[in-house]
Amino acid sequence: MSNVLLDVQNIKKYFPVRGGFLKTVQGHVRAVDGVSLQVNEGETLGIVGESGCGKSTLGRSILRLIEPTDGKIIFEGNDIRKYSHAQMRAMRKKMQIVFQDPYASLNPRYSIMQTLTEPMYVHGLYNGKERAERVRALMQKVGLDPSYASRFPHEFSGGQRQRIGIARALVLNPKLMILDEPVAALDVSVQSQVINLLEDVQKDFNLTYLFVAYDLSVVKHISNRVLVMYLGKMAELATSDELFFNPLHPYSKALLSAVPVPNPEVRKERVILQGDIPSPANPPSGCVFHTRCPIAKEQCKKEVPEWREIQTGHFVACHYPGEGV
């Protein structure tokens, strides 16, 4: 049985909405609203959903880059939400993130050598010579010429900058990496190269991934399991194969129907959802998806669906899983 590396229990992140002359709190945006999940060592868990569903906020809340409102984040058996600033700083060696925009996440004033040696300097790892050697080895590992170490971010392409971001995340030998849409800003031709790189370093460094993305074809390729989120809540969780071949939540079915098929002779029926995504500051009653759901009934408007296991390892929050669409 696999060891659970990360156990997230009922995590919530509410952002206050202020208004009026005194800027008093008049409500909250429920960006993440009661998400619970477990990630095993060496696993890749994909997190998907439309823009605004809370998937990136969930990833950053797990790392406490954004402080969660409620819930537990148990990493290697310890609740890191109770950690002090100093304890959390030491823990960050084991938990790293790769951001969506590789240019915005790199300091334009730092050379690549400075960018990659800074984490080792902050945590007091290795001496000067060892740091330089480690940087060159990592650059080679991610497919960059070590002689480019003295160059600056603007001298690299988008794909090369993302490789630098991956090298920076690897430099401290982490156990968990959160990949926040790491290929979304890249050309399609470069995306596959970066995905292959991520798979290679996962094997070599025994990494565990949380892969946040909206591109379902990429998620299917890289993930062992997939969590579908809608309006800050969990809609469905299953193995990658099970979710793509047997989606049970109507929202999952709609998402998967939008994935293009690379065969012009295969016609795919699209599920077009009506209406706009409700505001997370004022979510609908009952099932939050009922305002756009093609199979919604009266029960859906009044009762919050229970998160239940329909088949082994296949969880869904829906009153009528597998019906319609």
DSSP code per residue over 67-128? --SEEEEEETTEEGGG--HHHHHHHTTTEEEE-S-TTTTS-TTS-HHHHHHHHHHHTT-S-H
Q: How far apart are CA 85 and CA 64, in angstroms?
A: 10
Q: What is the CA angle 291-293-299, rounded to 5?
A: 75
- Position 1 scores a pLDDT of 44
Residues in Cβ contact with 234 at an 8 Å cutoff, skipping those fewer than 6 apart: 34, 35, 36, 37, 227, 228, 307, 315, 317
- What phi, psi does 125 have (nearest 5°)? -105, 135
Residues 142/163, Cβ–Cβ less than 8 Å: yes
Q: How far apart are CA 295 and CA 249, in angstroms?
A: 10
On the question of pLDDT at 310 being above 60, the answer is yes
For residue 266 the two structure tokens come to 């295969």
Residues 32/46, Cβ–Cβ less than 8 Å: no
- Residue 325's pLDDT band, with cuts at 50, 70 and 90, is low
- Position 200 scores a pLDDT of 95
Kindly state the average pLDDT of the residues 210-230.
Answer: 93
- Residue 2's pLDDT band, with cuts at 50, 70 and 90, is low
Residues 63/270, Cβ–Cβ less than 8 Å: no
On the question of pLDDT at 178 being above 90, the answer is yes
For residue 84 the two structure tokens come to 């002090």
Q: How far apart are CA 318 and CA 82, in angstroms?
A: 33
pLDDT tens digit sequence for 236-272: 999 999 999 999 999 999 998 887 777 677 777 777 7
Least confident of 12-26, 63-77, 155-169, 267-281: 267-281
Nearest to 217 by CA among 262, 277, 165, 267: 262
Nearest to 36 by CA among 7, 67, 2: 7
Kindly state the average pLDDT of the residues 170-196.
Answer: 91
Q: How far apart are CA 305 and CA 319, in angstroms?
A: 6
> What is residue 192's three-state secondary structure?
helix
On the question of pLDDT at 216 being above 60, the answer is yes
- Residue 43's pLDDT band, with cuts at 50, 70 and 90, is very high
Residues 64/97, Cβ–Cβ less than 8 Å: no
- What phi, psi does 230 have (nearest 5°)? -145, 120
- Residue 324's pLDDT band, with cuts at 50, 70 and 90, is low
Least confident of 44-48, 87-91, 183-187, 296-300: 183-187
Q: How does the average pLDDT of the chain come out, rounded?
A: 92
Kindly state the average pLDDT of the residues 118-134.
Answer: 91
Q: State the pTM of this model.
A: 0.92
On the question of pLDDT at 17 being above 50, the answer is yes
Kindly state the average pLDDT of the residues 24-45.
Answer: 94
For residue 138 the two structure tokens come to 């990592």
